[in-house]
Amino acid sequence: MKLVVRVKLLPTPMQVAALEATLHACNESATWAAFVAFETKAQRPLQLRKHTYAEIRLRWGLGAQAAQHAIKKTCDAYTTLKANLRAGRYGRPGSRRHTRASGKPVVFRPDAAQPYDDRMLSWQHRSRTVSIWTTAGRLKNVAFTGQAEQLEVLAQHRRGESDLVCQGGKWFLIATCDIDETPPNTHPAGLLGVDLGIANIAVTSDGTRHCGRRINRKRNNDRTLRSKLQKKNTKSARRRAKKHAGKEARRARDINHKISKRIVAEAERTGRGIALEQLTGIRERARLRKPQRTTLHSWPFAQLGSFIAYKAKKAGVPIMYVDPAYTSQECSQCHHTARHNRPSQAVFSCRVCGFVDHADHNASHNIRHRGWMAWVCGAQSTAPELTLIA
């Protein structure tokens, strides 16, 4: 299975200048190639190369590989655009959005990602440096860093191209890794039910609660700060809001990694699969008071779901996706379902059998039960095929 590992480069100021000049040259030439492709309708690599290759090398000083990658990037952008137009993501033909997207050439941002192959980029894992081609010649000993676990995956499984990107003034290499999957466990001893929610981000049917009150308090503070900055709406407030948003997203991502790792490890250790609610529609489904609504919208549940999915796939843990409708109102003991079973957000109390439990914990049992019913009925695990940023 394919995984993507992102490492941060630690270039010296001199190296930054060279990287910056290179990325700009690559994207400027790709934008120019996109213009040529638009005018001449030559949007296949071989055709477009005939029209642009020599000039790109001459005008922007790109090496043979870099020029080819810039041309291929342009062609890929048109292929994607065409696919999106066909799929109706820009509205109907003739609509304003459609015309705007199809009526002009593709433009690349100056710091858009540029692919690098093994001839332009080599990795020295032991010294944690890369040697990378730039328009100012080959840069050697550009240091990089990343999480220990990810660096190990990188050292052992990296294959093919990597992308050089600059995000918010920081430099990254995004490398594709091809890792071996554990063969899927076809006879799980049961399922671990996972309920995703507001009070706790995730609760398992074993009773483990992931991130409750403490993180919620932080999320509330984040929200207050965000609305304060929005109200102020000065230039510096906007800058601060943007910086803060990036920080929030990184923290959420980190937490999602930790939660998903623990859930999958627990399922793997006990020889079980995972039952997870289908995530589509989580926002439409949950009807909440307003302040909670913002908290729900601000948590990336889809990301958490995808992290669980790829970690499970890697470990051979099967996943069953279940329809979560009424799992919060259903009694996990007698299956009586009623809204009155929920006297409050946190408590479940069955009106028929008197069973009382933490609401999310009760729901996770229902999810586990539904998943298991589907599993024993012979349904296949419906884990999506995906590539994800690790």
- Shortest spacing between CB 320 and Zn ion, in angstroms: 23
The distance between the two most distant Cα atoms of the chain, rounded to a whole number of Å, is 80
CB count within 10 Å of CB 342 equals 16
Select from 99, 49, 55 the least CA-distant residue to 74: 49
Q: What is the 3-state secondary structure (H, E, C) of 163-210?
A: EEEEECCEEEEEEEEECCCCCCCCCCCCEEEEEECCCCCEEECCCCEE
In whole angstroms, the minimum distance from the beta carbon of 162 to Zn ion comes to 55
Residue 18 or 350 with smaller CB distance to Zn ion: 350
Q: Which is nearer to Zn ion, 157 or 336 (CB)?
A: 336
Q: How far is the CB of 193 from Zn ion (least distance, A)?
A: 17
| Nearest residue (CB) to Zn ion, 256 versus 362 | 362
Contact at 8 Å (CB) between 342 and 302? Answer: no
Q: Which amino acid is at 44?
A: R
Which CB sits closer to Zn ion, 53 or 355?
A: 355
- Shortest Å, Cβ 332 to Zn ion: 8
Closer by beta carbon to Zn ion, 176 or else 337? 337
Cα 40 to Cα 52, 72, 74, 286, 347, distances in angstroms: 11, 16, 14, 51, 66
DSSP per residue over 11-30, as a string?
A: --HHHHHHHHHHHHHHHHHH
Question: Between the CA of residue 49 and those of 61, 64, 68, 151, what are the distances in Å?
Answer: 16, 11, 7, 36
Closest distance of CB 329 from Zn ion, Å: 11
3-class secondary-structure state, position 360 = helix
Q: 14 or 356: whose CB is closer to Zn ion?
A: 356
The residue (of 226 and 336) whose beta carbon lies closer to Zn ion is: 336
Look at residues 108, 110, 138 and name the one whose alpha carbon lies nearest to residue 24.
110
Least distance in Å: CB of 373 to Zn ion? 18
Q: In angstroms, what is the minimal distance from the CB of 204 to Zn ion?
A: 21
Structure tokens given for 141: 């000993």
Q: Give the binding site for Zn ion (CB under 5 A).
A: 331, 333-334, 336, 350, 352-353, 355
